[in-house]
Structure 1
Amino acid sequence: MDSILSNIKIAVPEQIFVKDPESSALGKRIVENSILLIDDIGFDSFTFKKLGNIIGSNESSIYRYFESKHKLLLYLSSWYWAWVEYQLVIETHNLSPNTKLEKAIEIVTRAIKEDSNFSHINEVVLNKIMVNENSKSFLTKEVDQENKDGYFVIYKRIVHRLRDMIIAIQPNYKFPSSLASTIIEGSLHQHFLKAHFKSITDCGNNTTPTEFMKNLVLNTLKA
């Protein structure tokens, strides 16, 4: 899988950015350091001015790539889900329906390891941002228009892939899309609870969100 991924460019919807950050060294520095800064101070406190100070560049140069910090968060979210999708496609190829769904749940819920194929992006830290900040990319007044404009196409594509795997196992199940989206959002929430509200989750040192989600989904489909 590593050799295949090394030749892959993660594709993010072009309408999210002004200039593709992958097209220049500065763009890659913007992405790399924005991940580290958001993780350090949180998205609410993050500004392009603070980022510019870190990368030694004018704030205006960052606006040449992203028109707002919201668009930057959308970029990071889309990049993350596209990266997960590549793993999903490659690692579930040619598996039986039941094994495919179990593997897919594992991929979208597991603890993240850094991927050396993308040296300017720390996937482990980006995953922490997804757990803590991802909902801020769509809990906005503009979400319907942004959805119409295709900003969330990659995220929805992963949900649809999981939905189709659920239908392949249990065609008569009434709520495949709801269950698929619950796998994605529920796992992020359990990772958040595991880190911050340990008393209201059973996930911890001995039980992972992956184990919980597999148990929930597979028992639901048996019923």
Structure 2
Amino acid sequence: MEDILQKIRVDINEDIFLKDPFSSDLGKEIIQQSVYMMIELGFEHFNFKKLSGRIGCTETAIYRYFENKHKLLLFLTSWYWGYLEQNLVFGTANLPDARKKLEIAIQILVKGPIFTKNDFIDPLTLKSLLTDEATKAIMTKEVDAEYQKGFFNHYHKLGERISKIILEINPAFEYPKTLVSTVMESSFMQSYYAKHLPGLTEHQPGDDRKIDFFHNLVFKTIENEN
């Protein structure tokens, strides 16, 4: 199973990029180095001029792949959620027990992918980046137009898939999408708080008890719904 997901390439909405970065060695280098540089510098201080200096190419060459750094971050964010969906599909294949499927879904959302090797992007390094920067891909003035273009489809599809698992457990539960999106966002935020604003959480970086918190939150919410 690990070998299958290692070679899986997540399809990204073609309106996000100008040229498929995985179609060339330069494009692959742009993706790889941008992840490292955004972690190192932060999204605000990252730009294509600095990226071109790191890679050893011109800024113009990078602009042939992405219109701007926002679109690059959208690409990375979309890829991550798409990869998590693939993890969920493979991780729950042939599992008849909906509760066990939901436990795996929670683990994937909170800890990241089960299958951690991929030939295109290092998913664990990408998770580290998105812990700090993922909200900056969504919290923009352009979000409504980008939503209409389908830029967040991978995010949506993962949420839909987990929502259906919740309804297998409790078909009468009224807010499966709300519950799932809360976990998707707050799992990142709790990791962010642990790293940067520790006074806002009991969790520490790398603390596995965070899964217990979200497990209890989800299952008690579902089970207490009348």
| TM-score between both structures, scaled by the size of structure 2 | 0.93
**Separation in 2 of the partners of 1:210 and 1:30?**
33
Q: What's 2:130 paired with?
A: 130
Once structures 1 and 2 are overlaid, which stretch shifts more, 34-43 or 200-209? Answer: 200-209
Q: What's 2:60 paired with?
A: 60
Once structures 1 and 2 are overlaid, which stretch shifts more, 135-144 or 208-217? Answer: 208-217
Q: What's 1:171 paired with?
A: 171
Q: CA deviation at 1:195?
A: 1.3
Q: What's 1:8 paired with?
A: 8
Q: What's 2:158 paired with?
A: 158
**Separation in 2 of the partners of 1:130 and 1:30?**
17
**Separation in 2 of the partners of 1:163 and 1:189?**
21
**Separation in 2 of the partners of 1:71 and 1:111?**
23
**Separation in 2 of the partners of 1:190 and 1:71?**
25
Q: Are 1:113 and 1:123, in contact at CA under 8 Å, matched by a contact in 2?
A: no
Query: SS of 1:98's equivalent?
Result: helix
Q: What's 1:43 paired with?
A: 43
Q: CA deviation at 1:14?
A: 1.1
The residue type equivalent to 2:217 in the other structure is L
Query: SS of 1:202's equivalent?
Result: coil
Q: What's 2:99 paired with?
A: 98
**Separation in 2 of the partners of 1:218 and 1:153?**
26
Superposed CA offset, 1:171-197 (max 9, x none): 111111100101100111111111122
Consecutive unaligned residues of structure 1, counting only runs of 5 or more, are none
Q: Does 1:185 align with 2:185?
A: yes
Q: CA deviation at 1:6?
A: 3.2
**Separation in 1 of the partners of 2:25 and 2:207?**
42
The CA RMSD over aligned residues, in Å, is 1.6
The 3 A distance-change label for structure 1 pair 112 and 203 is farther
Q: CA deviation at 1:209?
A: 2.4
**Separation in 2 of the partners of 1:7 and 1:45?**
32
**Separation in 1 of the partners of 2:142 and 2:176?**
27
**Separation in 2 of the partners of 1:209 and 1:184?**
13
Query: SS of 2:15's equivalent?
Result: helix
The residue type equivalent to 2:182 in the other structure is T
Q: Are 1:112 and 1:123, in contact at CA under 8 Å, matched by a contact in 2?
A: yes
Q: Are 1:77 and 1:137, in contact at CA under 8 Å, matched by a contact in 2?
A: yes
Percent of aligned pairs sharing the same letter: 40
Once structures 1 and 2 are overlaid, which stretch shifts more, 90-99 or 105-114? Answer: 105-114
The 3 A distance-change label for structure 1 pair 194 and 113 is farther
**Separation in 1 of the partners of 2:17 and 2:144?**
18
Q: Are 2:113 and 2:123, in contact at CA under 8 Å, matched by a contact in 1?
A: yes
Q: Are 1:203 and 1:212, in contact at CA under 8 Å, matched by a contact in 2?
A: no
Q: Are 2:159 and 2:181, in contact at CA under 8 Å, matched by a contact in 1?
A: yes
**Separation in 1 of the partners of 2:6 and 2:39?**
26
Q: CA deviation at 1:114?
A: 8.3
The 3 A distance-change label for structure 1 pair 114 and 168 is closer
The 3 A distance-change label for structure 1 pair 68 and 206 is closer
Matched length: 222
Q: Are 1:73 and 1:137, in contact at CA under 8 Å, matched by a contact in 2?
A: yes
The residue type equivalent to 2:44 in the other structure is D
Q: What's 1:108 paired with?
A: 109
Q: What's 1:214 paired with?
A: 215
Q: CA deviation at 1:41?
A: 0.4
| TM-score between both structures, scaled by the size of structure 1 | 0.94
